[in-house]
């Protein structure tokens, strides 16, 4: 058995773990990084990267099939599903070197390709090596949650960890789960020529503003996706190519392939947390505001910390704990400025409070301003006029922004900046955006906040009248 001592030990080489490792090593800390599976974690290999690549394939097919509105004759947009998966694999391969073992060893990091588990409060065993560390970071991420539905264990099904290896185009894809993963894959597959049925136990996109979610869901339905809500899967049966999902209310859905997309579970099973005095919680590991566990030598970041499950959150968490671990400075994680997006067409994005949350928190102090894509000249030119933005404002400061429409995931960046820096609506309004851009929507939303104050105010009109009469 080999023994190693280090400043920082990181368990998991996904987005969060890699960010901590690179930052800490380049600032002079001695770092050991453990990874028992693939470098880059879920995001690179099974999540954000392959899903967006497949969405791009679907978008290309849809664009060919719906080009007449631009004066270009519609084409067949014939899909080679296996070639689309080659595209996905190539995208992963192009990004993989950034997350590779070789790159991180180049930073002076000791990368050990084995799963780690605690054997004491400051020791982890990985294969034939025991690592003793001053600080330990758990960044093990999450895996697809597969609920114990009767019959499921006897039927072939996909998760996000297997879907991107599937080479045969599904004739009819059944998707259990109507969250972001489910609806993104539903639209990608309908655009590539599959029949698609989404089976959701409650409401599809139920965690988003329902007014905005309805725009996305209506678009999916218009493309042919069948979305069945209030359909709790009670039983699964069949064989490859002929699968049935029966809902609790008796509805039966038939298809050729099944994708389970009902959520995520934190990867903690292999860690032996109890040996380190670390308390788990539902959905992950118990942490305080500084992301420390009940063992103060150990931090947990990203999905395993049990909060928002996004790659960019893991990266943000890395910055929070580096400040604490390397410099001994107080540093706390916040969520009020964290944005997220669902990459359907149209896209759906959110940062801060939704309208319902803002009303509950701020009551009559809240003002909600809106601006529609239909009034943006670039959106008109691009034939992308479906959607709108609404910004929740309290005493001149935005507390949340909800966007549905073309490039919503890009537009939300400005509002994330505004919330992170406690900016005022006047600062957004002062921005000059090039014309014509989709980004003007943000400025026009700020303008919508000030318009009634300027154009409907009798005081302003009296002042202007006075100036015009008496000032030469």
Cβ(177)–Cβ(146) below 8 Å? no
CA 285 – CA 117 distance, rounded (Å): 15
Percent of the chain at pLDDT > 90 equals 94
> Would the pLDDT of 465 be above 80?
no
> Would the pLDDT of 456 be above 80?
no
**pLDDT at residue number 212:** 98
> Would the pLDDT of 448 be above 90?
yes
Q: Is 423 left (phi over 0), alpha (psi -120 to 50) or beta?
A: beta
**pLDDT at residue number 458:** 66
pTM of the predicted model, to two decimals? 0.94
Confidence of residue 471 (pLDDT cuts 50, 70, 90): confident
Q: Which of 150, 148, 145, 158 is CA-nearest to residue 240? A: 158
Average pLDDT over residues 158-181: 97
> Would the pLDDT of 371 be above 90?
yes
Confidence of residue 159 (pLDDT cuts 50, 70, 90): very high
> Would the pLDDT of 461 be above 90?
no
Confidence of residue 472 (pLDDT cuts 50, 70, 90): low
> Would the pLDDT of 459 be above 70?
no
**pLDDT at residue number 470:** 74
Confidence of residue 32 (pLDDT cuts 50, 70, 90): very high
Q: How many CA atoms lie within 13 A of 101 on its CB side?
A: 13
> Would the pLDDT of 457 be above 80?
no
> Would the pLDDT of 266 be above 90?
yes
Model confidence pLDDT, tens digit, residues 317-358: 999 999 999 998 899 999 999 999 999 999 999 999 999 999
**pLDDT at residue number 67:** 96
Model confidence pLDDT, tens digit, residues 222-238: 999 999 999 999 999 99
Cβ(219)–Cβ(204) below 8 Å? no
**pLDDT at residue number 466:** 64
Strand 339-342 relative to strand 347-352, pairing: antiparallel
3-state secondary structure the chain: CEEEEEEEEEECCCHHHHHHHHHHHHCCCCEEEECCCCCCHHHHHCCHHHHHHHHHHHHHHHHHHCCHHHCCCCCCCCCCHHHHHHHHHHHHHHHHHHHCHHHHHHCCCEEECCCEEEEECCEEEECCEEEEEEEEEECCCEEECCCCCCCHHHCCCECCCCHHHCCCCCCEEEEECCCHHHHHHHHHHHHCCCEEEEECCCCCCCCCCHHHHHHHHHHHHHHCCEEECCCCEEEEEEECCEEEEEECCCCEEEECEEEECCCEEECCCCCCHHHHCCCEECCEECCCCCCECCCCCEEECHHHHCCCCCHHHHHHHHHHHHHHHHHCCCCCCCCCCCEEEECCCCEEEEEECCHHHHHHHHHHHEEEEEEEHHHCHHHHHCCCCCCEEEEEEECCEEEEEEEEECCHHHHHHHHHHHHHCCCCHHHHHCCCCCCCCCCHHHHHHHHHHHHHHHHCCHHHHHHHHHHHHHCC
> Would the pLDDT of 453 be above 90?
no
Confidence of residue 304 (pLDDT cuts 50, 70, 90): very high
Confidence of residue 454 (pLDDT cuts 50, 70, 90): low
**pLDDT at residue number 181:** 96
> Would the pLDDT of 460 be above 90?
no
**pLDDT at residue number 463:** 67
**pLDDT at residue number 467:** 72
**pLDDT at residue number 468:** 72
Mean pLDDT, rounded, of the chain: 95
Maximum separation of any 2 CA atoms in the chain, in Å: 92
> Would the pLDDT of 221 be above 90?
yes
> Would the pLDDT of 452 be above 80?
no
Of the candidate ranges 109-118, 128-137, 263-272, 450-459, the one whose mean pLDDT is the lowest? 450-459
Cβ(226)–Cβ(237) below 8 Å? no
């Amino acid at each position: 058995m080999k023994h190693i001592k280090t400043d920082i030990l990181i368990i998991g080489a996904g987005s969060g773990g890699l960010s901590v490792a690179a930052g800490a090593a380049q600032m002079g800390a001695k770092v050991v990084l453990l990874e028992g599976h693939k470098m880059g974690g879920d995001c690179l290999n099974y999540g954000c990267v392959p899903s967006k690549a497949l969405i791009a394939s679907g978008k290309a097919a849809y664009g060919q099939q719906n080009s007449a509105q631009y004066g270009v004759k519609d084409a067949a947009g014939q899909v080679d599903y296996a070639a689309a998966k080659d595209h996905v694999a190539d995208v992963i391969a192009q990004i993989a070197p950034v997350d590779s073992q070789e790159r991180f060893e180049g930073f002076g990091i000791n990368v050990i390709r084995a799963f780690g588990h605690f054997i004491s409060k400051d020791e982890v065993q990985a294969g034939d090596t025991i690592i003793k560390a001053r600080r330990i970071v758990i960044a093990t991420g999450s895996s697809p949650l597969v609920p114990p539905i009767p019959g499921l264990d006897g039927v072939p099904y996909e998760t996000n960890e297997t879907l991107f290896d599937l080479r045969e185009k599904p004739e009819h894809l059944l998707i259990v789960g109507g969250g972001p993963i489910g609806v993104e894959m539903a639209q990608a597959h309908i655009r590539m020529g599959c029949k698609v049925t989404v089976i959701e136990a409650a409401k599809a996109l139920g965690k988003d503003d329902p007014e905005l979610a309805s725009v996305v869901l209506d678009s999916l339905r218009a493309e042919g996706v069948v979305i069945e809500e209030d359909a709790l899967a009670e039983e699964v049966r069949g064989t490859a190519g002929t699968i049935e999902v029966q809902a609790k209310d008796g509805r039966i859905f038939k298809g050729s392939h099944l994708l389970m997309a009902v959520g995520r579970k934190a990867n903690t099973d292999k860690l032996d947390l109890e040996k380190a005095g670390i308390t788990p919680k539902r959905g992950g590991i118990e942490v305080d505001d500084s992301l420390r566990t009940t063992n103060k030598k150990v931090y947990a970041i990203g999905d395993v910390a049990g909060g928002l499950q996004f790659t960019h959150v893991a990266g943000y968490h890395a910055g929070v704990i580096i400040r604490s671990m390397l410099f001994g400075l107080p540093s706390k994680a916040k969520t009020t400025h964290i944005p997220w997006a669902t990459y359907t067409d149209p896209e759906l994005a959110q940062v801060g409070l939704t309208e319902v949350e803002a009303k509950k928190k701020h009551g009559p102090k809240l003002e909600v301003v809106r601006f529609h894509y239909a009034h943006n000249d670039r959106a008109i030119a691009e034939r992308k006029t479906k959607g709108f933005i609404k910004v929740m404002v309290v005493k001149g400061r935005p507390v949340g922004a909800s966007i549905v429409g073309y490039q919503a995931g890009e537009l939300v960046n400005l509002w994330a900046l505004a919330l992170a820096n406690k900016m005022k609506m006047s600062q957004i309004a002062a921005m000059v955006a090039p014309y014509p851009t989709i980004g003007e929507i943000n400025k026009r939303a700020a303008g919508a906040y000030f318009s009634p104050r300027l154009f409907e105010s009798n005081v302003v009109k009296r002042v202007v009248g006075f100036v015009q009469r008496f000032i030469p």
